[in-house]
Amino acid sequence: MDPSLYEAVQEGNLNAIREKKELVSTNQLTPNKNTVLHVAAQFDNSMEFALEILKIDGSLLCEVNSDGETALHVAARNGNKDVGEQMMRFAKSLDEDPEAGGRGGALKKLLSCRNRNGDTALHEAIRNNRPSMVDLMTKEDPDIANIANNELETPLFLAVDIVQGYENWIMSVNYILENCPSPAYTGPNGKTALHAAASYNQKQISENLLAKYPTVIMEVDDCGWSALHYATLCGSNEVAEKLLKADKSIAYIAAEKDNDKTALHIATCRGKVNEIEEILAYCPDCWEMVTGDGQNILHLSVKFEQREAFNFIMKKSWVGNLINQKDAEGNTPLHVYASTPLFRGRDLVNHPRAETNALNKKHMTPLDVIRFSNVHSLGKRSVIRELKAKGAISQNSLLLKKEGYLEKKDVAPMDIRKAANTHLLVATLITTVAFAAGFTIPGGYDGNDGPNEGLAILSRKAAFKAFIITDSLAMVCSASAVFLYVIGAISHNKLQRALWYSSASELVIVAMGAMVIAFMTGLYTVLEHSRELAIIECVICSFCLPFFYLLKNIHLKDFLNDL
């Protein structure tokens, strides 16, 4: 574009534009193919300025730039209402002028023109929070509120879904609802503007939408979610209450493509206690509904480890009806609890109506589920103790074998072969180190001629004797562990193999502790002349011993519990 022309437009110099009429009509363009009218729309110029340009060349009205945008798109984005208003007046004058060359419908064409993203000027005004432009355009042509962009966003949906955090964001929504008799309200993935309002807890907009479209409350998106689903998911308490007041049957809508979950199920999975309480206040029997796989809200609170939701449900008088209810796999909430040992739900085990020996479709009790689970933690032992205290028993192992469960899980609570390989490597390293330490003793050997030649110099010291004993213990235990791992590897009895491996791992833990003591006493032997340094060394090494003791006890108890 000619620099002097661009500067005249940028500065809003009306006289300069009149002097450069010839340049305006020669289709001067910027690198982005913006016309003089586009440039005028970028800056806050007067109505007369835009009108003067259009009088010089009216064809610029619907010219588009490289993004497919008219000057009205640019004016809407920048909130230049005067320029936009003048463009629409000029378009209307063309429609009313019989001598305009048959250019009827110029205003509708201008307002409905879409850029490469499918956005009209109305979309741009909404996206950039220009409510005055929204008011102006929807009054001129209410039908433009029915045009969706490439993302399937209608102006009303976009106004509700995008324009957040602005002081006057609700104005665009209200202008569309007031100026357009029946604006489209849909968005991508089958959502409606009410879905968007529920997601952002927009109570006032929800009321306005329900007043204009009473039936929209029952519409669901592509996943089968209603607006109440979104309200519970996002913690929109006020909207949830408004929806339930409008039509409480919305609480019974199950999402067909999302495992038939109701809004109550969503609230439970997310631990939204306020929403759970709200839904049950309007629909007290809603707790009876189950998901597509037969799980009730008690199943879900345990499965998703939602402590607050679990405590809320357990206090209800009707919880006894959920305690022993089975899902599609035959699992009661207690079976689910047994498979999530990190979740603390002692109230479930201690409930007087809880059947601790109920069988699922694999003929497993909750105790079987926890014992044969892949989880290996302190919580697992605690759950086992809780179940046993309430009289829980395991099914016959032959029955489990008949169902093929033992073959699938290979008896052990973890992948025991991989663990055994790791333990075997540790045991081998300890054996090697202990063996080498036995011949590289602290203080060395007596090299002088005489009866003590070749004997250990520090053999009479107590610390040295302790070193020899603990090093020998580490050597024997680690070598024995290696032997047990070899025996276990060739054993065909899976229970026997698990026993071999468990015993070997116990020996590895003992060998590790003995190796630390050997290291401590060996250093003490050669540092005895510096008592302070020797004592500090012993204190540092001693920190390992309680850990080894605790590890040994935990491993032994876990193994015994799993038998």
Q: Which of 113, 139, 158 is the last residue of a domain?
A: 113
Q: Is residue 351 part of a domain?
A: no
Q: Which amino acid is at 386?
A: E
Q: Which of 93, 113, 133 is the last residue of a domain?
A: 113
E strands of 193-311, at which residues? none
Q: Residue 104: how many CA atoms within 13 Å on its side-chain side? A: 2
Domain total for the chain?
Answer: 2
pLDDT for position 48: 75
pLDDT for position 104: 60
Q: Is residue 55 part of a domain?
A: yes
Q: Is residue 49 part of a domain?
A: yes
pTM for the model stands at 0.70
Q: Is residue 497 part of a domain?
A: yes
DSSP-assigned beta bridge partners for residue 261: 255
Question: How far is Cα 236 from Cα 432, in angstroms, rounded to an integer?
Answer: 64
Q: Is residue 460 part of a domain?
A: yes
Question: How far is Cα 313 from Cα 264, in angstroms, rounded to an integer?
Answer: 12
Report residue 103 as tokens.
């250019």
Question: How far is Cα 562 from Cα 116, in angstroms, rounded to an integer?
Answer: 64
pLDDT digits (tens, 9 = 90+) for 374-409: 665 556 778 888 888 888 887 755 454 545 544 444
Three-state SS sequence of 8-57? HHHHCCHHHHHHCHHHHCCCCCCCCCCCHHHHHHHCCCCHHHHHHHHHHC
DSSP state of 262: -
Q: Is residue 496 part of a domain?
A: yes
CATH number of the domain to which 467 belongs: 1.20.140
pLDDT digits (tens, 9 = 90+) for 485-544: 777 777 666 666 667 777 777 788 788 888 888 888 877 777 766 777 767 767 776 766
The gap from C-alpha 360 to its chain's centroid, in whole angstroms, comes to: 30
Question: How far is Cα 519 from Cα 545, in angstroms, rounded to an integer?
Answer: 12
Q: Which amino acid is at 541?
A: C
Q: Is residue 87 part of a domain?
A: yes
Q: Is 299 left (phi over 0), alpha (psi -120 to 50) or beta?
A: alpha
Question: How far is Cα 149 from Cα 520, in angstroms, rounded to an integer?
Answer: 75
pLDDT for position 140: 93
Q: Is residue 489 part of a domain?
A: yes
Task: Point out the residues of the chain with pLDDT beneath 70.
Answer: 19-26, 44-47, 97-104, 163-167, 374-379, 396-420, 423, 443, 445-459, 491-498, 528-529, 534, 537, 541, 543-545, 547-563
Q: Which of 113, 145, 180 is the last residue of a domain?
A: 113
Question: How far is Cα 418 from Cα 415, in angstroms, rounded to an integer?
Answer: 6
Three-state DSSP at 445 gives strand
Q: Domain residues for 521?
A: 416-562
143, 95 in Cβ contact below 8 A? no
Rounded to 10 degrees, the C-alpha dihedral 310/316/318/321 comes to 30
CATH number of the domain to which 45 belongs: 1.25.40.20
Residue 515: C-alpha distances to residues 427, 545, 552, 555 (Å) = 11, 11, 15, 19
DSSP state of 563: -
Question: How far is Cα 256 from Cα 261, in angstroms, rounded to an integer?
Answer: 8
Question: How far is Cα 558 from Cα 417, in angstroms, rounded to an integer?
Answer: 17
pLDDT for position 148: 97
Report residue 365 as tokens.
């009790």
pLDDT for position 410: 40
pLDDT for position 165: 55
Residue 491: C-alpha distances to residues 402, 487, 495, 498, 555 (Å) = 21, 6, 10, 10, 22
